[in-house]
Every structure is written in structure tokens, then in C-alpha cells.
Amino acid sequence: MKKIMDEFKDLELKLTPQRLAILGLILDKPGRHPSAEEIFSKVKEDYPSISLATIYNTLDVLTKKGRLVEITIDSKKKHYESNLDPHHHIVCTCCGKIGDVWDEELIKKLPVSDVGDFEVQGWHINFSGICKDCREKQGNN
Amino acid sequence: MKKIMDEFKDLELKLTPQRLAILGLILDKPGRHPSAEEIFSKVKEDYPSISLATIYNTLDVLTKKGRLVEITIDSKKKHYESNLDPHHHIVCTCCGKIGDVWDEELIKKLPVSDVGDFEVQGWHINFSGICKDCREKQGNN
DNA sequence: CTCTCAAGTAAGAATGATTCTAACGTAAGT
DNA sequence: ACTTACGTTAGAATCATTCTTACTTGAGAG
């Protein structure tokens, strides 16, 4: 309870109940990659008056401050996560669930011979596959 | 001129002037990664009566038939390309321009130690960086 | 050659995610 | 208590995309 309040101090962001609820929710669900709408409906349970705009504002400011990461793996909407350790993601082609992919090799280095006229700053790998749940459901057909 | 018409025959798709114009445009610009809106305004020049819905329909059917690839690297909109050879992409963090990344190693194999409960089907690497144009503009400040 | 039908197209409405706007609330410092 | 900057809210606005409906067209049947 103390720790998360310090996070805002460290980030030089004003601490508000809304922000506390939003970041707290995301920190509470490691391994999840919620969208703004998902965060909105969860936070709304404990904080019925919160506005979607506040969700977007908060996600935006926390992302710009580097406390959250935006994940671009779903062409329909953005997803967010709080785990800052560099890693990659996999999306289920069946249900859309997103999972983390941890691999030392793919994080430390990535040999590239040709990036044309670009100067590389970083990279992120989007894997696709089928999750366990969907594999099991397929078996039941 | 003959070749592109055969493409539709091979894909078992009815050939229409609109489809011809759309695929023709994309094939004409190798290395580009246009969005639906960009394709719309270009095709509109030669085909003023075309509808955005036709653009989306055509992109959709060509993607499903495997003749086009959808690129998810820009969280704001989808981009398309006609080059089916497996490769990756890089986006300029400054202007948003998308470039191709060709690299044998990153295409053939990709060692992964942990993908949790997922069965991997494929992967795509989103690089980020700064393009030549933007680097030059920065220098002029 | 004309009819019929399936598929494609056009225009605009509908949707969904995200951003913007304007008014109100709040906490810190003078 | 007063000012001020920042946050929040509700709703409007925007943008990409999808959906709906009616019109068009072309290939095959007769």
C-alpha cells in the first residue's frame, strides 16, 4: 500500500485515488495485458464515478513516464502491461488472449543485416499461436 | 498487364476494374505499406466513383486469400503490403514511415525457450528506429 | 438473345476505440 | 480565504473499420 504511492512520487505525478486504482489494478494482475476498456470496467466496480477519459489520461501519462508499456499486437485496440522487464508477446489466433514470451536470446541481441536507411532503436516480437484453452476446446469438437 | 489478371484467376476471385486498380496500385509500389485510406485516395484519382467499402472488401478478400499481408505495427491503423516473402518491419518513431527488414536468420528460425501454454505458429518482428529523412531533419535544427 | 442469380459495388449509417472540449473539483502555496 | 495548476468528468468529436441496403453487372441457363 505504501509502495504504490511512492511510485507516483518517483514519477513526479500527482497521486489521486483514480490513478491509484488504475495502476493498482494493473500491478495486481501480472501477466495480464488489459485494454483501456477492460481497465475501465474493472476500476468502475470500486470507483463507479470514474470516467473513461481518466483511464486514457492515466494510461497515457504512465506510459509516457515509462511506468507502463503499450502493446501493439492487436490491430483492434491497444493493450497495456506493467512489467517493464524486456520481453515479447504471443497472441492466440483463436481467442485473442495475449501471453508473455521470455527468452534471453531474443532480448539481449538480435542480429540484423539490413534495415535499409533506418537506425534501429529497439524491437518487439509478436508471436502468434494457439493457447492451451483453445487447443482443448478444439479437441472437444 | 496480363499477369495481374491471372492473379485473380489463380485466387478464384472475380476480376473487376476496382479490384484490378487496388491490387495494381499495391503491386506498383513495392516497399510501401499503405493503409486503406491511402489506397482509397490513390485509387480514387483514376477511379473517382470507388467506395471506401470496396477498398476494405478487397483488402479483406485479398488478405484472406493470402495475396496480401496485413501489418500490425501502427496502433492507429492497419497497413498492407503485397510482398509475400517472409520479412519483418521497422517503423520510424519520428514520422511513422514503415520499412522492410530482410534477414535470413530472423526468418528461418527463432529459438524460444518459453511461450507458456501457447503452441507457436509464427512470429513477426516490429523494429523501431529513425529513418534517414528524420535524422537529416534533426540535424538541421 | 433474354432471364436469373450470385457476387460486387456504392453510399451512407453504425460501431468501437480513442481523443478532445468545456466545466467543475481539489489540493498546495501565497 | 484566493489563486493557480492540475485532474476529473461527461459528453461531443474523430477516425478507422464494419455493416446495411439497394443498385449494378456479368456468367450461365434456357
Q: Kindly state whether residues B65 and B110 are assigned to the same domain.
A: no
Query: Is there contact between A56 and strand C, defined as CB under 7 Å from any strand atom?
Result: yes
Provide the phi-psi class of B88: left if phi over 0, else alpha when psi is between -120 and 50, else beta: beta
| pLDDT tens column, A68-127 | 999 999 999 999 999 999 999 999 999 999 999 998 777 777 767 678 899 999 999 999
Q: Kindly state whether residues B64 and B112 are assigned to the same domain.
A: no
Burial class (CB in 10 A: 0-12, 13-18, 19+), A130: buried
* Grid coordinates of B32: 510501401
Domain stop point among B32, B48, B81? B81
| Residues listed for chain A | 141
**Mean pLDDT, to the nearest integer, of B112-132?**
89
Q: Kindly state whether residues A12 and A72 are assigned to the same domain.
A: yes
Q: Kindly state whether residues B18 and B65 are assigned to the same domain.
A: yes
Contacts of B120 in chain A (CB under 8 A): 90, 127-129
Q: Kindly state whether residues A74 and A7 are assigned to the same domain.
A: yes
Burial class (CB in 10 A: 0-12, 13-18, 19+), A43: buried
Residue reference for cell 478487397? B58
Give the angle subtended at the CA of B139 by the CAs of B136 and B141, to the nearest 5°: 120
Domain stop point among A63, A81, A99? A81
Torsion sign over Cα A61, A67, A71, A76: negative
Q: Kindly state whether residues B95 and B73 are assigned to the same domain.
A: no
| pLDDT tier at B62, thresholds 50, 70, 90 | very high
Domain stop point among A81, A101, A119? A81
Chain B interface mutation, best of A68, A75, A93, A98, highest count of B Cβ atoms under 10 Å: A75
Instruction: Tell me how far apart the alpha carbons of residues A95 and A42 are, in angstroms, rounded to a whole number.
Output: 20
**Residue A42 scores a pLDDT above 60:** yes
Residue B14: count other Cβ atoms within 10 Å of its Cβ.
Answer: 9
**Residue A53 scores a pLDDT above 70:** yes
Q: Kindly state whether residues A123 and A67 are assigned to the same domain.
A: no
Q: Which residues pair with B128 in a beta bridge?
A: A122, B91
Phi, psi of B29 (to 5 degrees): -120, 65
- The pLDDT mean for chain B works out to 91
**Residue B132 scores a pLDDT above 60:** yes
Q: Kindly state whether residues A56 and A102 are assigned to the same domain.
A: no
Q: Do B125 and A124 make contact, defined as CB atoms within 8 angstroms?
A: yes
Q: Kindly state whether residues A13 and A74 are assigned to the same domain.
A: yes
Instruction: Tell me how far apart the alpha carbons of residues B85 and B107 are, in angstroms, rounded to a whole number.
Output: 10
Q: Which domain does A45 fall in, by range?
A: 2-81
CATH number at residue B67: 1.10.10.10
HEC-encoded secondary structure of B73-86? CCCCCCEEECCCCC
| pLDDT tens column, B13-54 | 999 999 999 999 999 988 999 999 999 999 999 999 999 999
**Residue B1 scores a pLDDT above 80:** no
Torsion sign over Cα B100, B101, B102, B108: negative
- The pLDDT mean for chain A works out to 91
Chain B residues whose C-beta is within 8 A of a chain A C-beta are: 70, 72-75, 78, 90, 92-93, 99-106, 110-133, 135
Instruction: Tell me how far apart the alpha carbons of residues A4 and B25 are, in angstroms, rounded to a whole number.
Output: 52
Q: Kindly state whether residues A76 and A40 are assigned to the same domain.
A: yes
Q: Kindly state whether residues B112 and B130 are assigned to the same domain.
A: yes
Residue B118: count other Cβ atoms within 10 Å of its Cβ.
Answer: 24
